[in-house]
Structure 1
Amino acid sequence: MSFFQGKILLNFIIDLLNKPAINWSNFELNSSLQLNDFVDLLLEPLNTSQYSYNIKLGLHEALINAVTHGNKLDPNKSIRVRRIITPNWCVWQIQDQGNGLEIKKRLYKLPKKFTSFNGRGLYIINECFDDIRWSNKGNRLQLALKR
C-alpha cells in the first residue's frame, strides 16, 4: 500500500469515527393488544423525559391499528417494527401483514359523530409526530419525530 492510499484509508476511518451514529433496531411482535411493554422497549434508548406522553400515545395507537385493522386480530400474524435513531430524527416504521389501508381512508380528521367508537387513531397519530408516511400498499406506516 502506498503512502497516498494509506492516507486515504486513514482519513476514511477518521471520518467514520467522527460521524454521528445511526442506531437501527428491528423488532417483531405477535399480533396482540399487549403493547405497553413493547412501546416502552421502542422508546428505551431515548431520554424519555425529553419526549412527552404524546409520543408514547402515538406509537401505541399505530400499533393498535396494525393489530386490529391490519392483522384483523389474527394471533398467527405479526407486526414488524424498525426503529431508526439519528442525531436529528427518531423514526419508527410499523408494518403489519394486512392488505393495507386505501389512500382515501388515510384521513387525519376526527370522526363526525362524537360518540363513534372508531376513527380517532389516525388523528391522534398525526398530532403526535412531525412526519408521517405510508407505503404504497398501505400496510407500513413511518412515524418520525424531530429531535
Structure 2
Amino acid sequence: MLSLLEIMTRGAHACSEDDSANRAAQLMWDHDIGCVPIVNRTGRLIGIVTDRDICMAASTQGRRLNEIPAIDAGTREVVAAREDDNIQSVEDLMRRHQIRRLPVVDGSGRLVGMVSLNDLARKTGRGLDASGVAGTLASISEHTHRVAA
C-alpha cells in the first residue's frame, strides 16, 4: 500500500503570516493551485486561503487585495494531515470536512507538503483503490446547507 509521503506534493507554495491576499492570489496564478497554506516564521501551519476565500474577501471587505492579510481572507482553523497518516485517514479527513486539498505537517506542525484529491486519483490502480477515491469524491461533492452564525 502507498504511503502519504509517496502521494503528497512536497515543498508546497505557502504564504507567510504577513503576506497579503494579493500575494496568495499571485502564488495561485503562478503555480496553477487553488489554495495556499499560511505559515508563521518557524514554518508552522497557521492558516489556509483558497481562491474562493480571496474572491469573497474582494467582494465583501471593500479593500484592495494588497490591503487584506491573507490570513484574514482565509481561515485559521485548518484541517491538516500528518506526514505519518495513512491514505485511509487522509480520505476520511477529506470526506468528513468536504475538502479536496489538505496541508501535510510534521510532528511539530511545520508544513511539509500538500495532498489533494487529484494526487489520490492519479495513484488509483497503482497501489490505491479506485472505489475509495470515488467515494471520497462523492462525499466531498455532496451539497450541504450552511446556516449563518
TM-score by length of 1: 0.26
More helix by share: 2
Larger radius of gyration: 1
More strand by share: 1
